Amino acid sequence: MNYIVMDLEWNQGKSELDEDKKRIPFEIIEIGAVKLNKDRKCIEKFQRVIKPNIYLEIFPVTKDLVQIDSKELEEGVSFVYAVHEFFEWCGSDFSFCTWGNMDLVELQRNMEYYGITNYLTKAFHYYDVQKIFSLEVEGRKNPKTLEYAVEYFGFEKSKEFHRALCDAEYTAKIFKQLNQMLINQYFSIDCYHNPKSVEDELYVNYGTYSKYISREFETKEEALNDKEIKKINCFLCGNPAVKKIGWFSNNPKNYYCLGYCSKHGYLKGRIQINKVDNGKRFVVKIVSTISKEGAKKLKLHHDEILIKKLDHH
């Protein structure tokens, strides 16, 4: 298995977009990637500049940030050609590594716009190097810039930032420094193509929390009434937790609950409702441990919401 450390640069248009362009708010103009083997040694590199097809003028923010000129873009290849070439270069057995999660979202959004549906068809594991870096150096998820991480490890800034291959090379250098146990434990899941059936549903136990990604439901109410979604189990022992506070919310998207495991103490459940293009919903449920003090704060939050609802009646 190889690691594909990928970075993208993209352009955008003005905020007043027509309906077609709303489907692709960011147009990819460069793909850069480094292929590492299982020992995290560099074996190949990939770079393609892509000729714009949607946003023909470089947006001012993009022009200031991305060190790429109009002549280079005009001589670029089409996105369709570049993507087919890229995935052929990736091979059949690989995992993506990116700095943050936006690159994979925009890659798949651009692919969908052009009807390229044969490479990425379902949810998949990848490595968010930004997240793993922050977990290693700070012990928590606290996103840092790529340049911060480069400076943290004392790497020479010999290449310009905000060019796809250069940023991919920097990301690869950082990835090589990270603890393999953390890499193995804290992989991420890309859900641009979310589970469609029970068979496709995902459950991951990260050791410090668990994540469940459901199939699609016709409505939010149907999802919230599903037995698997409603329950809260201790991810450390697998036993059902006693619900101290049932699922509650102060907005239509996020729900919380408080459970208690006799072996491992308080558990916090969080549900995120995600709407997909076809109007259906799927759920991401995270269960983690919470301190006694944290449990008190969650109960206080629940009570405040309850009081507001009663006041409105």
C-alpha separations of 201 from 108, 109, 189, 196 in Å: 20, 22, 12, 8
- The 3-state DSSP class for residue 249 equals coil
Distance CA 127, CA 131 (A): 8
pLDDT above 70 for 95: yes
pLDDT at 50: 97
Q: Is 119 exposed, middle or buried (0-12, 13-18, 19+ CB in 10 A)?
A: middle
pLDDT in tens, 212-266: 999 999 999 999 999 999 999 999 999 999 999 999 998 889 999 999 999 999 9
Compute the chain's Rg from CA coordinates: 22
Amino acid 65: pLDDT: 65
Q: What is the mean pLDDT of the chain?
A: 92
Q: How confident is the model at residue 313 (pLDDT cuts 50, 70, 90)?
A: low
Encode pLDDT of 197-227 as tens digits. Answer: 999 999 999 999 999 999 999 999 999 999 9
Confidence band for 64, pLDDT divided at 50, 70 and 90: low
Helix (H) or strand (E) holding 184: helix 180-185
Per-residue model confidence (pLDDT) at position 128: 98
Confidence check: pLDDT of 124 > 80: yes
Among 24-28, 71-75, 157-161, 309-313, where is mean pLDDT lowest?
Answer: 309-313
Compute the average pLDDT of residues 81-87.
Answer: 98
Which residues touch 102 (CB under 8 Å, ≥6 apart)?
none
Flag the least confident range among 142-151, 153-162, 287-296. 153-162
**pLDDT value at 312 more than 80:** no
Give the start-to-end residue ranges of the domains of the chain. 2-185, 197-312
Mean pLDDT of 260-279: 95
Architecture of the 2-185 domain: 2-Layer Sandwich (3.30)
Place of tokens 């006694």: 292
Alpha-carbon distances, residue 193 vs 20, 52, 201 (angstroms): 20, 25, 12
151-199 pLDDT, tens per residue? 999 999 988 888 999 999 999 999 999 999 999 999 999 999 999 999 9
Query: What pLDDT, in 10s, does the model give residues 17-32?
Result: 666 677 888 999 999 9
